[in-house]
Amino acid sequence: MAATKEASVAVPRRRPTKEDLISTHKTHLDKQDRSPDAPRPVKQPIMSEAYPASTRSIRELEIIPLSDLCVEAHHRGKGIIVKAISPPYVGAGAVSIVEDQFGNAERLAIYNQPDSSILSAVPEGCVVAVKEPYYKKNGSENDFMICVDHPSDVILLRFTDPIIPEPLRLGPLLKTAEDWKKAGDTAFIEKDFPTAVFCYTEALESSSDPTFQSPIYTKRAGTNLVLGRYDDAKADALASLAGGPQQHEWKAYYNAGRAAYGLCDYRTSHSLLSKALALNQSHSGIQREHARCEARLHEEETGNYDFPAMLASLTAQSVHLDRGSFLRNTRVADSAHHGRGLFAARDLAAGEIIFVEKATLMPNQYDPGRASAALYALTVRQLCDNPSLAEPVLGMYGGEYARSGMEGMIVDGVPVVDVFLVESIRTKNCFSSPRSTVEDTKPSMPSGRQAKGLWVHAAAMNHGCVANSMRSFVGDMLISRATRDIKEGEEIFQQYVPVKSLVDARNRQYLEGWGFECGCKLCVTERRSPEANLAKRKEALMAVEKVCNKKLPGKGDLVPDATIRNVERLTKQLEDLHEADVYAEGLPKLTLIYPCNWLVGAHKGRKNHAKVIRYAKKVLRCFGFIVPEDKGVEWDPRKMYSSSGDMTLMTVHVVVALRRLAEAYEALGEGDMAKKCVEAAKFGYMLVTGFENDLSMLDR
């Protein structure tokens, strides 16, 4: 028996005949949605069904007939070689009917192929090898299929490959290298770029004459550039130089430089484009690309960005900004908390940019129901198209998923891509990002429209509830700013998600999402509270939330005095449940933030300015900022970010509280304090949104 996984698996007693398979397939083909631009659904991996990608060459595997396939088995050490005998039915994957050398037929479903690959819709007549195939039940009884989840588990075989058994051989479709070149040109003109690459490859393999090959390399480089296969485009462009003295040597460097730019490798790109420019100084395209590259290098070096211009350039279609990443204030090193972490490479003052990073991968998909699948699909595609991404992307923390150590390695001409590892990495490292954080703070903005992306540098950061950094977004650029002064060598933390007020609830969330219990000072200290007290606090919070109706008073809302008094009473009760020996001076009291915010709103509606000041200050204290209760003690809110120690949390609620304070001070004729509060609010808003923005955005 071919199967190796489970003792109970067996060859099915009855399989559909070839005719049955083709007939059912035809009905699917007839129903196929033929709108070519419709987004293809994504088959997202189910981690409980994970199995590893094959890491072996097809040439090392025992080739078995389709009739040996056992149901629900992964055929380790085995491979099949089959020919597609039907056009594909294309949905989440490409389903074809295939036949082996003995005339056995099966259904083959190939998922997760990049659009740049012919295998994303295997043409009829192609011969493919499936490594260590997974044969599974497909719904009803006697209905099975070979399911290929890992893109590197299926290989398109060249027609002349000696591994193809005689009965499946067609022989070369075209006779000469020149014929293949022409076929490639035709496919290119028809915009069938995967086929063009395939034909140019056949042309290159059919000739050993460097003068013939050189222009074909140039053509394949151009085609790979269009497909976004930048690694291959760069290699092809440089390979074209091998054909001896070239009339268009500049073009090789130009294409290679553009490919390196596509990989965001601006240093290499600059050096290649400089060579191109030296060879062809008047070429406007090279001049433009060279200047663009210098601008990226300048951003990488200085961290100078025109954020308002970047924001203004965003449209629904264009969220990927042409900018470099500024990372030099930080370095990745071992962390005492977990694995690697991010550390300050120099002293950073509160408010300073820590780093700005362009997304490694972020699809333009802000529909919350599709964002995760879109990121997963993009990551798989890019790892197939650009194997150099394997190092940074697969180098990210992947949780418990067992690695083979071969991921990203080239086997049978393609990089090994394990989709379950990709998914595991995605879940542990991705961030949700609004199109821009500043727009997202507008109350009128519909909430929840967030894309998901991977920022490899930012993903090196561990979580801390009382984090010293804050992230924000403009398109696919992540801006990280210091929320307080950070010393050189200090670890930089960020909040993975907005921090829940109850210590056990938030740690449940970290455990489920990322597999850790937080060891930040706040969590460690709050866990010292006895269980019974934690439960009482939860009950008290629920009681006050119930009275507040889970809704903050809006502009002009006149909340009845009795309700306000009730909320004040319940808030006091909740506050009294914070044990004095646990909650020493300066420790945030997160459960009090919501009711205090509510009281700020309620008193504002009633023009109780002194009470607004009292509760807004309390909100700031509950976030861990040092703010004197006593009116007589001098306080400069502008200094609170740098002078409150290392137990502060920064959110937009801090900014709002400072604004409420400013309005109340103004109303009481304390203009100087009002001005200071506005300045502090503006500073806070810069932390929240990534750059200086008008506070009035919060009213729109």
Ligand X SMILES: C[S@@+](CC[C@H](N)C(=O)[O-])C[C@H]1O[C@@H](n2cnc3c(N)ncnc32)[C@H](O)[C@@H]1O
Positive or negative: CA dihedral 5, 42, 195, 98: positive
Which structure tokens are listed for 402? 């067992």
Positive or negative: CA dihedral 351, 354, 356, 360: negative
Asked if 536 is part of the footprint of ligand X (rule: CB under 6 A), the reply reads: no
Asked if 427 is part of the footprint of ligand X (rule: CB under 6 A), the reply reads: no
Least distance in angstroms from the C-beta of 679 to ligand X? 33
User: Which segment (259-267, 278-286, 454-462, 576-584) binds ligand X by CB under 6 A?
Assistant: 454-462
Give the x/- contact pattern for ligand X in 276-315, rule: CB under 6 A: ----------------------------------------
Which residue among 128, 460, 540, 655 contacts ligand X (CB under 6 A)? 460
| 499 vs 657, beta carbon nearer ligand X | 499
Which residue among 41, 167, 489, 515 contacts ligand X (CB under 6 A)? 515
What Å distances lie between residue 316 and 42, 357, 689, CA to CA? Answer: 22, 21, 19
Measured distance CA(652)–CA(445) in Å, rounded: 15
Least distance in angstroms from the C-beta of 399 to ligand X? 6
| 91 vs 399, beta carbon nearer ligand X | 399
Strand ranges, E, within 401-498 = 410-411, 414-415, 431-433, 451-453, 462-463, 469-474, 477-482, 491-494
Contact residues for 580 (Cβ-Cβ < 8 A; gap 6+): none
User: Which segment (404-412, 415-423, 462-470, 501-509) binds ligand X by CB under 6 A?
Assistant: 462-470
Least distance in angstroms from the C-beta of 371 to ligand X? 18
Asked if 467 is part of the footprint of ligand X (rule: CB under 6 A), the reply reads: no
| 174 vs 332, beta carbon nearer ligand X | 332
Least distance in angstroms from the C-beta of 456 to ligand X? 10
Asked if 433 is part of the footprint of ligand X (rule: CB under 6 A), the reply reads: no
Q: What is the dihedral of CA 107, 112, 116, 118, to 10 degrees?
A: -10
Give the x/- contact pattern for ligand X in 546-575, rule: CB under 6 A: ------------------------------
Which residue among 131, 435, 463, 484 contacts ligand X (CB under 6 A)? 463
| 306 vs 334, beta carbon nearer ligand X | 334
Least distance in angstroms from the C-beta of 331 to ligand X? 14
Least distance in angstroms from the C-beta of 465 to ligand X? 8
Q: 72 near 11, Cβ under 8 Å? A: no
Asked if 5 is part of the footprint of ligand X (rule: CB under 6 A), the reply reads: no
Does an H or E element contain 332, and which?
strand 330-334
Positive or negative: CA dihedral 280, 282, 284, 288: positive
Side-by-side strand order, sheet with 477-482? 353-358, 477-482, 469-474
Strand ranges, E, within 120-218 = 127-131, 134-137, 144-148, 154-156
Which residue among 519, 586, 605, 645 contacts ligand X (CB under 6 A)? 519
Least distance in angstroms from the C-beta of 392 to ligand X? 12
Closest CA to 416 of 232, 130, 157, 152: 152
Which residue among 212, 516, 583, 635 contacts ligand X (CB under 6 A)? 516
Least distance in angstroms from the C-beta of 359 to ligand X? 15
Q: What is the Cα 167 distance to its own chain's centre?
A: 45
Least distance in angstroms from the C-beta of 644 to ligand X? 21
Which residue among 86, 325, 424, 462 contacts ligand X (CB under 6 A)? 462
User: Which segment (171-179, 401-409, 510-518, 629-637) binds ligand X by CB under 6 A?
Assistant: 510-518
Q: 121 near 88, Cβ under 8 Å? A: yes
Least distance in angstroms from the C-beta of 485 to ligand X? 21
What Å distances lie between residue 663 and 254, 327, 658, 679, CA to CA? Answer: 58, 39, 9, 13
| 243 vs 341, beta carbon nearer ligand X | 341
Between the two ends of the chain, the Cα-to-Cα distance in Å is 69
294 CB-contact burial (10 Å; exposed 0-12 / middle 13-18 / buried 19+): middle
Kindly identify the residues of this chain, within the stretch 315-344, that bind ligand X according to CB under 6 A: 335, 337-341
| 316 vs 336, beta carbon nearer ligand X | 336
| 459 vs 656, beta carbon nearer ligand X | 459
Asked if 76 is part of the footprint of ligand X (rule: CB under 6 A), the reply reads: no
Asked if 421 is part of the footprint of ligand X (rule: CB under 6 A), the reply reads: no
Kindly identify the residues of this chain, within the stretch 384-403, that bind ligand X according to CB under 6 A: 397
| 171 vs 339, beta carbon nearer ligand X | 339
Q: 255 near 269, Cβ under 8 Å? A: no
Q: 543 near 584, Cβ under 8 Å? A: no
Closest CA to 358 of 393, 391, 318, 322: 322
Q: How do 154-156 and 127-131 pair as beta strands? A: antiparallel
| 428 vs 506, beta carbon nearer ligand X | 428
Least distance in angstroms from the C-beta of 581 to ligand X? 25
Least distance in angstroms from the C-beta of 688 to ligand X? 22
DSSP per-residue codes, 61-119 = SEE--GGG--TTEE-TTEEEEEEE-SPPEESSEEEEEEE-TTS-EEEEEEES--TTSGG
Asked if 359 is part of the footprint of ligand X (rule: CB under 6 A), the reply reads: no
Q: What is the dihedral of CA 436, 439, 441, 445, to 10 degrees?
A: -120
Positive or negative: CA dihedral 280, 285, 289, 294: positive
Binding residues with ligand X: total (CB under 6 A) = 19
Least distance in angstroms from the C-beta of 356 to ligand X? 18
Asked if 466 is part of the footprint of ligand X (rule: CB under 6 A), the reply reads: no
Q: 355 near 325, Cβ under 8 Å? A: yes
Question: In this chain, which residue has its C-beta nearest to ligand X?
Answer: 339
Least distance in angstroms from the C-beta of 464 to ligand X? 6
Asked if 514 is part of the footprint of ligand X (rule: CB under 6 A), the reply reads: yes
Which residue among 54, 113, 424, 429 contacts ligand X (CB under 6 A)? 429
DSSP 3-state of 531: helix
Closest CA to 590 of 514, 525, 515: 525
Measured distance CA(639)–CA(635) in Å, rounded: 9
Contact residues for 562 (Cβ-Cβ < 8 A; gap 6+): none
User: Which segment (13-21, 66-74, 198-206, 508-516) binds ligand X by CB under 6 A?
Assistant: 508-516
| 237 vs 486, beta carbon nearer ligand X | 486
| 234 vs 463, beta carbon nearer ligand X | 463
Q: Which residues pair with 533 in a beta bridge?
A: none
| 298 vs 521, beta carbon nearer ligand X | 521
Least distance in angstroms from the C-beta of 451 to ligand X? 18
Least distance in angstroms from the C-beta of 422 to ligand X? 15
Least distance in angstroms from the C-beta of 336 to ligand X? 10
Q: 408 near 380, Cβ under 8 Å? A: no
Closest CA to 453 of 362, 521, 541: 362
Which residue among 74, 75, 150, 428 contacts ligand X (CB under 6 A)? 428
Contacts with ligand X, residue ranges (CB under 6 A): 335, 337-341, 397, 428-429, 459-460, 462-464, 514-516, 518-519
